[in-house]
Amino acid sequence: METRSGKLPSILLPAAVFAGGVALWALIWKSGVFPPSALPSPLGVIRAFGEELRNGRMINDLSTSLYRVTVGFLLAVLSGVPLGTWMGQKLKARTAFLPLLNFFRNLSPLAWIPFAILWFGVGDLAAIFLIFLSGFFPVVLATMAAVAGIPAVYSRVAETYGLHGFEKVVHVTLPAIMPQIITMLRVTAGLCWLVVVAAEMIAGRDGLGFAVMDSRNGLRMDMLAAEMVLIGGIGVILDRVLVRLTKIPSVRWGYER
């Protein structure tokens, strides 16, 4: 339990660590271990940030990447959760599909990049396809495991009180796994955000991943570092947004027991 008096240190402590990190970076830059072309200064990165914001490229790349991740992630969740729910209830389906799912889950989605380009060309579709692949298998597996682990007593209660079929799924099965679903959404969204950058580096003409490659090719390491800061920051924000789901009253039980 966090106490009230822990409020201030919870801001100050991370801020101090952050400031220390930036100071260390500045020190290394100053020491000249790396040539200026290989390591930009903190101030240089802030300037590059301003430049990128002014010419609007960064906002474009950001919205492009966010669009791809959102679509790919939603497709993975909207198809993976129903499939996982079904499999969680059917032992035979699990037996049949589990090895295949495990295979694809352990196959890096980046290995699909050449096929993605061949099938969908360079652009939105290829990236969305790759993000879908990175999200789909973990979503199915996590949902399946969660459904298979629902305590039997809930099914019996549902039966006693006349909840069957679709009504049971909506009022019992899905609420019973919602805490695990939310955790799974956070993990998967993080994974998708990692993959979109890698995918765009190879199969993109825009987006943050492409911007990283473009800055490297232009030897603009200050811009590259600014983009890295943005990519990491957005990843944190995505997680902070999803963590809000755990505040919904009807899922609190999953985190407080």
Shortest Å distance, C-beta 162 to another protein: 6
Q: Does 100 bind another protein (CB under 8 A)?
A: no
Nearer to another protein, 172 or 212 (CB): 172
* Contact status: 5 vs another protein (CB under 8 A): no
Residue from 35, 99, 162, 165 that binds another protein (CB under 8 A)? Answer: 162
- Which CB sits closer to another protein, 150 or 242? 150
Find the part of the chain contacting another protein (CB under 8 A) among 11-19, 89-97, 138-146, 173-181. 173-181
Considering the rule CB under 8 A, would residue 1 count as an interface residue with another protein?
no
Cβ-based nearer residue to another protein, 161 or 166: 161
Residue choice 6, 114, 156, 233 for contact with another protein (CB under 8 A)? 156
172 binds another protein (CB under 8 A): yes
What distances in angstroms separate CA 203 from CA 102, 110, 129, 185, one per listed residue? 26, 10, 11, 25
Of the pair 42, 175, the CB lying nearest another protein is at 175
Residue 166 contacts another protein per CB under 8 A: no
Query: Which residue from 35, 99, 151, 165 is in contact with another protein, where contact means CB under 8 A?
Result: 151
Part in contact with another protein (CB under 8 A); list of ranges 7-15, 93-101, 106-114, 174-182: 174-182
Of 7, 205, 240, 252, the one binding another protein (CB under 8 A) is 252
Please spell the DSSP secondary structure of the chain, one letter per residue. ---GGGTTHHHHHHHHHHHHHHHHHHHHHHHTSS-TTTS--HHHHHHHHHHHHHHTHHHHHHHHHHHHHHHHHHHHHHHHHHHHHHHHH-HHHHHHHHHHHHHHHTS-GGGGHHHHHHHH-SSHHHHHHHHHHHHHHHHHHHHHHHHHTS-HHHHHHHHHTT--HHHHIIIIIHHHHHHHHHHHHHHHHHHHHHHHHHHHHHH-SSSHHHHHHHHHHTT-HHHHHHHHHHHHHHHHHHHHHHHGGGGSGGGTHHHH-
List residues near another protein by CB under 8 A.
151, 153-154, 156-157, 160-163, 172, 175-176, 178, 249-254, 256-257
